Amino acid sequence: MKLITAIVNKEDSKAVCNELLRAHFYVTRLATTGGFLMAGNMTLLIGTEDERVDDCIACISKCCKQRTEIVPGTASIGLGIESAMPIEVTVGGATVFVTNVERFEKL
Protein backbone atom coordinates (compact mmCIF):
# COMPACT_ATOMS: atom_id res chain seq x y z
CA MET A 1 0.00 0.00 0.00
CA LYS A 2 1.14 3.55 -0.75
CA LEU A 3 0.25 6.99 0.55
CA ILE A 4 0.23 9.67 -2.14
CA THR A 5 0.58 13.22 -0.88
CA ALA A 6 -0.20 15.75 -3.62
CA ILE A 7 0.09 19.51 -3.17
CA VAL A 8 -2.03 21.28 -5.79
CA ASN A 9 -3.13 24.84 -6.47
CA LYS A 10 -6.40 25.73 -4.76
CA GLU A 11 -7.94 26.60 -8.13
CA ASP A 12 -7.16 23.10 -9.47
CA SER A 13 -8.24 21.19 -6.38
CA LYS A 14 -11.93 20.75 -7.19
CA ALA A 15 -11.24 19.32 -10.65
CA VAL A 16 -8.52 17.03 -9.26
CA CYS A 17 -10.77 15.70 -6.49
CA ASN A 18 -13.63 15.10 -8.92
CA GLU A 19 -11.30 13.21 -11.29
CA LEU A 20 -9.92 11.10 -8.44
CA LEU A 21 -13.41 10.26 -7.19
CA ARG A 22 -14.48 9.24 -10.71
CA ALA A 23 -11.50 6.86 -10.77
CA HIS A 24 -12.58 5.42 -7.37
CA PHE A 25 -9.80 6.92 -5.24
CA TYR A 26 -10.62 8.14 -1.74
CA VAL A 27 -9.20 11.58 -0.99
CA THR A 28 -8.64 13.58 2.18
CA ARG A 29 -8.22 17.31 1.53
CA LEU A 30 -6.23 19.67 3.73
CA ALA A 31 -6.17 23.43 3.13
CA THR A 32 -2.54 24.59 3.13
CA THR A 33 -0.58 27.73 2.26
CA GLY A 34 2.46 27.85 0.01
CA GLY A 35 5.62 29.53 1.24
CA PHE A 36 6.62 31.50 -1.85
CA LEU A 37 3.49 33.50 -2.71
CA MET A 38 1.64 32.67 0.51
CA ALA A 39 -1.13 31.49 -1.83
CA GLY A 40 -3.76 28.88 -1.07
CA ASN A 41 -2.99 25.28 -1.86
CA MET A 42 -4.75 22.02 -1.22
CA THR A 43 -2.81 19.04 0.09
CA LEU A 44 -4.45 15.76 -0.90
CA LEU A 45 -3.85 12.51 0.96
CA ILE A 46 -4.67 9.40 -1.07
CA GLY A 47 -4.16 5.84 0.09
CA THR A 48 -4.02 3.24 -2.67
CA GLU A 49 -2.67 -0.14 -3.70
CA ASP A 50 0.82 -0.23 -5.21
CA GLU A 51 -0.47 -1.12 -8.69
CA ARG A 52 -2.80 1.93 -8.81
CA VAL A 53 -0.18 4.59 -8.06
CA ASP A 54 0.44 5.44 -11.73
CA ASP A 55 -3.33 5.74 -12.36
CA CYS A 56 -3.66 8.13 -9.43
CA ILE A 57 -0.77 10.31 -10.60
CA ALA A 58 -2.27 10.37 -14.11
CA CYS A 59 -5.54 11.72 -12.67
CA ILE A 60 -3.66 14.45 -10.82
CA SER A 61 -1.56 15.30 -13.87
CA LYS A 62 -4.66 15.55 -16.07
CA CYS A 63 -6.08 18.40 -13.96
CA CYS A 64 -2.95 20.24 -12.77
CA LYS A 65 -1.15 22.23 -15.42
CA GLN A 66 1.40 24.94 -14.79
CA ARG A 67 0.51 28.42 -15.96
CA THR A 68 1.79 31.96 -15.46
CA GLU A 69 0.00 34.69 -13.54
CA ILE A 70 0.78 38.31 -12.88
CA VAL A 71 0.90 39.21 -9.17
CA PRO A 72 0.79 42.80 -7.93
CA GLY A 73 4.22 44.29 -7.43
CA THR A 74 3.36 45.40 -3.92
CA ALA A 75 2.84 41.79 -2.86
CA SER A 76 5.72 40.32 -0.94
CA ILE A 77 6.97 37.15 -2.62
CA GLY A 78 8.11 35.52 0.59
CA LEU A 79 11.78 36.44 0.33
CA GLY A 80 11.51 39.95 1.74
CA ILE A 81 11.51 41.28 -1.83
CA GLU A 82 8.93 43.84 -2.78
CA SER A 83 8.63 45.58 -6.11
CA ALA A 84 6.49 48.36 -7.53
CA MET A 85 6.25 46.44 -10.81
CA PRO A 86 3.89 43.49 -11.35
CA ILE A 87 5.71 40.15 -11.32
CA GLU A 88 5.01 37.19 -13.59
CA VAL A 89 5.13 33.87 -11.69
CA THR A 90 4.46 30.24 -12.54
CA VAL A 91 1.59 28.67 -10.59
CA GLY A 92 -0.31 25.41 -10.78
CA GLY A 93 1.03 21.99 -11.43
CA ALA A 94 1.40 19.57 -8.55
CA THR A 95 4.04 18.31 -6.20
CA VAL A 96 3.53 14.60 -5.51
CA PHE A 97 5.14 12.37 -2.89
CA VAL A 98 4.64 8.60 -2.82
CA THR A 99 5.49 6.84 0.43
CA ASN A 100 5.23 3.25 1.60
CA VAL A 101 2.55 2.44 4.16
CA GLU A 102 3.59 -0.23 6.61
CA ARG A 103 0.16 -0.61 8.16
CA PHE A 104 -3.34 0.56 7.22
CA GLU A 105 -6.53 0.17 9.21
CA LYS A 106 -9.92 1.65 8.49
CA LEU A 107 -11.78 1.96 11.81
pLDDT score, position 58: 96
pLDDT tens per residue, the chain (107 residues)?
A: 999 999 998 888 999 999 999 999 999 999 988 766 566 789 999 999 999 999 999 999 999 887 776 766 655 555 555 556 777 776 778 999 999 999 988 88
Task: State which amino acid sits at residue 97.
Answer: F
pLDDT score, position 37: 58
What structural domains and CATH numbers belong to the chain? Answer: 2-100 (3.30.70.120)
Query: pLDDT exceeding 90 applies to what percent of the chain?
Result: 53
Q: What is the rounded radius of gyration, in angstroms, for the C-alpha atoms of the chain?
A: 16
5 burial type by CB count under 10 A (0-12 exposed, 13-18 middle, 19+ buried) = middle
